[in-house]
Amino acid sequence: MGERRGLVSLVGAGPGDPELLTLRGRRRLEEADVIVYDRLVNPELLEFARDDAERIDVGKSAHHHPVKQREINNLLARLAREGKRVVRLKSGDPFVFGRGGEERTYLRGLGVDVEVVPGITSAIAGPAAVGIPVTHRDFASSFHVIAGHRKRAGHELDWDNIAHMEGTLVFLMGMESLGRIVGELLGNGKPADTPIAVIQWATRENQRAVKSDLLGIREAVAEAGLGAPALIVVGGVASLLDDGDDGGCGDGGGRDDGEGGVG
Ligand SMILES: C[S@@+](CC[C@H](N)C(=O)[O-])C[C@H]1O[C@@H](n2cnc3c(N)ncnc32)[C@H](O)[C@@H]1O
């Protein structure tokens, strides 16, 4: 009788609303022996798991890394080698700034079976949740998803190129660097009246958003008390952010449920 082979499923949890999980993602959660999940994953999704499934929180936040990536890699490999069905649950899509690519390469290198279950990325669904399409015939024929946090020395973004792109710019992990992002765009020739929107906790009950232009966004964000996790959307499409009919989002803030500034 052969032993069961383990499997690691890199599952995208979607942007936050549990109903935006894929059917396959839900099935993998129901089948899982162990779920290894990140900080931004909506805890409601864990309710799809069996009562006896082990749940391991390896959540990372901007200044706090409870479990190092190397340890996560080792953990996934060990669990799979024990013959377990492991779900590695990541916010959005596992291959969009989710370290999913690194984890897959590592596990395959050890001969561990690994599959990818895509998720709906916050980079698209977050703007959509407040009425912003990332492309639109009147505004943008491309969109660009950019890591907004400061890179390691020598890996600085090409701001001149970014500022001159025709398409919509979507920055993830950018709230701590909002001032620098705005400054680089302005300094490299982006017009000061370019529309920009910031969406916090997109698709979650505590979703909030503001829109302004490049010159005014820092003040609008400060007034509304918005912080991470949030998306920063730059370009004409940002002007389409719904005013007031989206459950609390719109110019200057919207519903204040005390979650503002959560990092
Ligand atoms: C490490 S990246 C992971 C992105 C994820 N893999 C995805 O496809 O959406 C984390 C960043 O995604 C963005 N993010 C993820 N979910 C979000 C949400 N519900 N609302 C706003 N921003 C979100 C924030 O910019 C956050 O800092």
DSSP state of 153: T
What is the rounded CA–CA span in Å between residue 257 and residue 247?
Answer: 12
* Ligand 1 centroid distance, CA of 171 (Å): 9
Going by their DSSP bridges, the two strands 253-254 and 195-200 should be labelled as unpaired
Q: What are the sequence ranges of the domains in the chain?
A: 7-117, 122-254
- The neighbour count for residue 158, using CB atoms within 10 Å, is 9
Q: Whose CA is nearest to atom 7 of ligand 1?
A: 92
Please report the pLDDT score of residue 128 as a whole number.
98
What is the rounded CA–CA span in Å between residue 207 and residue 195?
Answer: 20
**Ligand 1: residues whose CB is within 6 Å?**
15-16, 40, 90-93, 96-98, 121-123, 126, 172-173, 199-204, 228-231
**DSSP letter string, 79-107:** HHHTT-EEEEEESB-TTSSSSHHHHHHHH
Ligand 1 pocket mutation pick from 88, 116, 122 by most atoms within 8 angstroms of CB: 122
Mean pLDDT score, 194-213: 98
Q: Which ligand 1 atom is the nearest neighbour of the CA of 207?
A: 20
* Ligand 1 centroid distance, CA of 93 (Å): 9
Ligand 1 pocket mutation pick from 40, 41, 262 by most atoms within 8 angstroms of CB: 40
Structure tokens at 32: 């899982």
Does the domain at 122-254 match CATH 3.30.950.10? Answer given as yes
pLDDT digits (tens, 9 = 90+) for 146-185: 999 876 556 789 999 999 999 999 999 999 999 999 999 9
pLDDT digits (tens, 9 = 90+) for 218-252: 999 999 999 999 999 999 999 999 976 444 444 43
- Reported as type and span, the H/E element at residue 234 is strand 230-234
Ligand 1 pocket mutation pick from 17, 20, 231, 249 by most atoms within 8 angstroms of CB: 231
What is the rounded CA–CA span in Å between residue 253 and residue 260?
Answer: 10
* Ligand 1 centroid distance, CA of 4 (Å): 35
* Ligand 1 centroid distance, CA of 140 (Å): 22
Rg, the chain, Cα only: 19
Number of continuous H segments (helices) and E segments (strands) in the chain: 7, 12
Beta-bridge partners for 57: 37
Percent of the chain surpassing pLDDT 70: 87
Active-site amino acid positions:
38, 60, 173
Residue 1 has pLDDT above 60, yes or no: no
Structure tokens at 141: 């024929």
- The neighbour count for residue 157, using CB atoms within 10 Å, is 15
Percent of the chain surpassing pLDDT 90: 84
Q: Nearest to residue 75, comparing CAs of 95, 96, 44, 54?
A: 54
| Residue 189 near residue 175 (C-beta atoms within 8 A) | no
Please report the pLDDT score of residue 254 as a whole number.
36
From 9-18, 59-68, 103-112, the region with the lowest mean pLDDT:
59-68
Give CA angle at 194 (191, 198), nearest 5°. 135
Going by their DSSP bridges, the two strands 114-117 and 168-172 should be labelled as unpaired
Residue 229 preceded by cis peptide, ω within 30: yes
Give the homologous superfamily in CATH for domain 7-117. Answer: Tetrapyrrole methylase, N-terminal domain (3.40.1010.10)
